[in-house]
A and B are shown apart, each in its own frame.
Chain A
Amino acid sequence: NAGVTQTPKFRILKIGQSMTLQCTQDMNHNYMYWYRQDPGMGLKLIYYSVGAGITDKGEVPNGYNVSRSTTEDFPLRLELAAPSQTSVYFCASSYSLQGQPQHFGDGTRLSIL
């Protein structure tokens, strides 16, 4: 039972490079989320999706893009990496009924130098 799988676990990018953080879940959850966690801070929502083909902005969407072509996959794209995007990124999924917990992946630690 894999749950939510994120790849890669670590990555170092140069300023201006682009990359895609992969996220896949095998629980058939409709709702998926991308968060970032900066040191000493809580998780901040970047983007979320309520189903295939539907995405919406969260609290901190600038500099990121997402797509949701299937129920299982929810990749996060950084087009022009900036030092401010150095963070740990978490993908999560849920049934999204009221009060339903989210299931998280183990994160991607991204450094922009």
Chain B
Amino acid sequence: DQQVKQNSPSLSVQEGRISILNCDYTNSMFDYFLWYKKYPAEGPTFLISISSIKDKNEDGRFTVFLNKSAKHLSLHIVPSQPGDSAVYFCAANPLPRSDKVIFGPGTSLSVIP
């Protein structure tokens, strides 16, 4: 039973346009959400996070939106660059101060020059 879902396995976007990566979750007790980016043959690297008490967090070209009522979050990348081509994982802390993080299956983003 997937508690964190990323229903789009892949996404292609033109350079300069907006990339929107989506994530849905089932557990209303999730307290913190994180996005990780992964290049081939490398480990995931942290990108941006958001607390459940917020609905938006922004860091440069990256913005994460959280809709708690819909149990949905999204990562916006504006403008998209070819170097953004990677797999993006959505992850969630299931409880406050939990030591465990639950990862979604990932979405592969291709930014076309």
Contacts and interface: CB of A to CB of B under 8 A. Distances in A.
Contact of A105 (B43, B97, B101): B43
A43 interface: yes
B89 A107 contact: no
Contacts of A42: 4, 89, 102-106
Interface in A40-79: 40-45, 48, 50, 58
Contacts of B101: 45, 102
Interface string B1-41: 00010000100000000000000000000011010100001
Interface in B35-61: 36, 41-46, 49, 51
B52 to A, nearest CB: 10
B4 A104 contact: no
Nearest to A99: B32
Contacts of A105: 43
Interface string A78-112: 00000000000010100011110111111100000
Interface of A: 4, 31, 35, 40-45, 48, 50, 58, 90, 92, 96-99, 101-107
